[in-house]
Amino acid sequence: MRLLHTSDWHLGRGFHGVDLRETQQEMIRTVCTAVEEHQVDVVLISGDVFDRALPPEWAVRELSSCLRRLREAGAEVVLTSGNHDSAVRLGAHRELIAASGVHIRTGLTDAWTPVEIERDGDRLLVYGVPYLEPQVYAAELGVERANHTAVMREVIGRIRADMATRTGHDAATPVVVMAHLFAAGGQASESERHIGAPAAPEETLDHQEDTVGGLAVVPLELFEGFDYVALGHIHGRQTLTDRIRYSGSPIRYSFSEEHQHKGAWLIETTQLGDPQAAVTGLDWVVGRGVTRLQGTLAEVLDPVTVDRFRDHFVQVTLTDDERPERAYPQLRQVYPHLMQYSYAGAGLTRSVGSYAQKLDRAESELDVVADFLDHVRHRKATAEERQIVESALQAVRSTAAQSGEKA
């Protein structure tokens, strides 16, 4: 059989306040087209189908339409809930829907109850493990410590026990496990919600038995012996081992995903004896690119740079010695999709003493105002600005003199 591994669609999510509805609709069309072109037999969606527990109505309609198209293409679907999804809402009517070939796994016992798929004499077992919040399920599973490692260790143990009853007579039956979690060796993005693992963007975490945060990172050893492990939660497509992979999100949801590969994994079950040959990456380019630009204002406004990234979502960090005047409107004029702007130049760190020390050294009211401007915007007052301030101060002095008050 031919499988497509995808996850983390996050339908309903935006990008720094920008509506991504059209991009997500394009993403769904891309997934469906890939299934049709590659004659996929089974689509694996490993959690975070929606971005929140109450998704917008259009997102619910788009998912329904997508599932119908996948079934019309001949593919069965196994879909699990992620930490962003409402397991109850996503799993509504799942028993009825399963009869149509769409298998939604959102309950605890679903984790060790496989979806059995048969095609042309071939058989496949798919164990779809939904996201399991340790504080909710630890007691029900009978584990003493409420952390992701303990919960998954118990769940995987129950999966292996079920496998022994179903496949003991047929070791050739491929077994696939789907899970939504932070696995050891995974590299985080800033668009992922923490699920016990406090990973900074672009940081890789490992399992640690002696720390609470480390126990939130599930060790890869738990998944040994399975033919393929289709993970969700982390947004970059990653290979942890030849058989354990993250598909990542099909589109970019943060600037930390600037250089990530986006797409899905295509798996041939008949070749899983050699997973490197069995698994192929599908590269998709959906939606706008995202780009982080850092340098002086002149460098960022260089025509070659502007021409290359004009249509991207852009994050700009300026490094000029002093904060450039009217930088934001200049940037916005050439980068219409500028999402974030910051200044990190020498003006932030130069050793000129504290603002209080500046006030102590000020010799006039003009110095006080000029030093304030320098302090709050990291750029010294120009000669023209000093003249405007001096004129304003002189007007105040004249008014005070006429009224007999002290200026």
Q: What is the pLDDT of residues 43-84, one digit of tens each?
A: 999 999 999 999 999 999 999 999 999 999 999 999 999 999
179 and 38 belong to one structural domain: yes
| Residue 380 confidence (pLDDT) above 90 | no
Q: How far apart are CA 305 and CA 311, in angstroms?
A: 11
| Residue 355 confidence (pLDDT) above 80 | no
122 and 190 belong to one structural domain: yes
Note the pLDDT of residue 351: 44
CB contact set of 185 (below 8 Å; sequence gap of 6+): 204, 206, 220, 238, 240
Residues 298 and 285: beta-carbon distance below 8 Å: no
Domain boundary residue, one of 283, 302, 334: 283
175 and 309 belong to one structural domain: no
Residues 191 and 245: beta-carbon distance below 8 Å: no
Note the pLDDT of residue 401: 66
Domain boundary residue, one of 283, 299, 326: 283
88 and 164 belong to one structural domain: yes
191 and 232 belong to one structural domain: yes
When divided into structural domains, the chain yields a total of 3
pLDDT tier for residue 352 given thresholds of 50, 70 and 90? very low
| Residue 199 confidence (pLDDT) above 90 | no
Between the alpha carbon of residue 55 and those of residues 19, 84, 105, 337, the distances in Å are: 14, 10, 18, 25
Mean pLDDT of the 277-290 span: 96
254 and 396 belong to one structural domain: no
223 and 161 belong to one structural domain: yes
Out of 56-65, 84-93, 311-320, 396-405, which region has the weakest mean confidence (pLDDT)? 396-405
How many Cα atoms are found within 13 Å in the side-chain-facing hemisphere of 93? 6
SS3 content of the chain, % helix, strand, coil (to 5): 40, 20, 40
179 and 44 belong to one structural domain: yes
Note the pLDDT of residue 396: 78
Mean pLDDT of the 217-244 span: 96
Q: Output the CA torsion sign for 394, 399, 404, 405.
A: negative
Burial 217-236 (b: 16+ CB within 10 A, else e): bbbbebbeebbbbbbbbbbb
264 and 230 belong to one structural domain: yes
299 and 276 belong to one structural domain: no
Domain at 232, CATH number: 3.60.21.10
Note the pLDDT of residue 378: 65
Domain boundary residue, one of 283, 301, 335: 283
Tell me the H-state helices in 252-382.
275-278, 297-300, 303-309, 327-334, 355-361, 365-377
Note the pLDDT of residue 204: 81
Reading the block at residue 391, the tokens are 């004129």
Beta bridge partners of 76: 42
CB contact set of 33 (below 8 Å; sequence gap of 6+): none
User: Could you tell me how far CA 302 lies from the centroid of its own chain?
Assistant: 30
Measured CA angle at 251 (ends 216, 261), to 5 deg = 75
Note the pLDDT of residue 275: 92
Beta bridge partners of 124: 117
Out of 16-20, 135-139, 202-206, which region has the weakest mean confidence (pLDDT)? 202-206
Q: What is this structure's pTM?
A: 0.84
Across the chain, what does the average pLDDT equal? 90
Q: Which residue has the higher pLDDT, 229 or 194?
A: 229
Mean pLDDT of the 93-99 span: 91
User: Could you tell me how far CA 60 lies from the centroid of its own chain?
Assistant: 20
384 and 306 belong to one structural domain: no
Range of the domain at 390: 355-403
Q: Which residue has the higher pLDDT, 354 or 220?
A: 220
| Residue 404 confidence (pLDDT) above 70 | no
Direct distance between the N- and C-terminal alpha carbons of the chain, in angstroms, rounded to an integer? 87
Note the pLDDT of residue 359: 66
Q: How far apart are CA 245 and CA 278, in angstroms?
A: 13
- Element spanning 106, H or E: none
| Residue 400 confidence (pLDDT) above 80 | no
267 and 198 belong to one structural domain: yes
Out of 64-73, 136-145, 369-378, which region has the weakest mean confidence (pLDDT)? 369-378
Note the pLDDT of residue 291: 97
Residues 121 and 191: beta-carbon distance below 8 Å: no
Q: How far apart are CA 369 and CA 373, in angstroms?
A: 6
